[in-house]
Amino acid sequence: MISKIMGFAMSIASRGLNNSKIDLTTKKLRYVSCYGIDNIPPCKFLSKSQKSEFYYCGKCGCGDHPHTWLQREETEYSKLDYPFLTCPMKMPGFDNYDPSSPNESLERKKKIENMDPEKLNLVQLTISVDEEKQKIFETVSKIVKNS
C-alpha cells in the first residue's frame, strides 16, 4: 500500500506546477500497453468506467474516477499524460517497465517490445493543453511564486 501511495505522489509531483505531460511517443506506447493494437490484445485489467465512456486500470487499485481514466477528452489531463507513471504489470512505456516481469503478461509484453515502431504512428492521441486552463494555471503559479 505504501508503494502505491508513493507512486501516486511521484506521479502528481511529476506533473509539476506547469502541468507537464509525457512526450507523445511514450504516451502512445503506454496506450498500446493498455489498449492494444492489431494483434496485441488489450490488457486484461483494462476496465470500462461506470461513470463515463472512458477506461481505467482495474489492477492498480485506484478505482474509477476522472483522475484515473487512462484517456479523457482532448483538453483534459489523463492518467497516461503524467510524466512519471507506473503500471502494475510493468509494461513498456511506464517508469517501472521490466521486460521479465510479471510472468502473466510476458507474451503480450514481447509482442509490444517487438512491434514495428511505425505502428505507433497509427495511434491517434494528443497531448494538447486547454489554453484557457493553461493561462489560469500560469497565473496561479505566478501568484504562488511571488508570495
Residues 82/72, Cβ–Cβ less than 8 Å: no
Q: What is the per-residue pLDDT for 135?
A: 61
What φ, ψ does residue 56 adopt, rounded to 5°? -140, 170
Q: Is the pLDDT of residue 139 over 90?
A: no
CB neighbourhood size of 4 (10 A)? 13
pLDDT tens-digit series, residues 75-128: 888 999 999 999 999 999 999 999 888 777 788 999 999 998 888 888 877 555
> Mean pLDDT throughout 48-53?
94
**Percent of the chain clearing pLDDT 90 (strictly above):** 44
Residue type, 99: P
Least confident of 18-27, 36-45, 130-139: 130-139
Residues 137/72, Cβ–Cβ less than 8 Å: no
Q: Is the pLDDT of residue 134 over 70?
A: no
Q: Is the pLDDT of residue 133 over 80?
A: no
Q: What is the per-residue pLDDT for 42?
A: 94
What whole-number distance in Å separates Cα of residue 127 and Cα of residue 111? 25
Residue 13 pLDDT grade (very low, low, confident, very high; cuts 50, 70, 90): confident
Q: Is the pLDDT of residue 131 over 70?
A: no
Least confident of 25-29, 63-67, 133-137: 133-137
Tell me the pTM: 0.79
Q: Is the pLDDT of residue 48 over 70?
A: yes
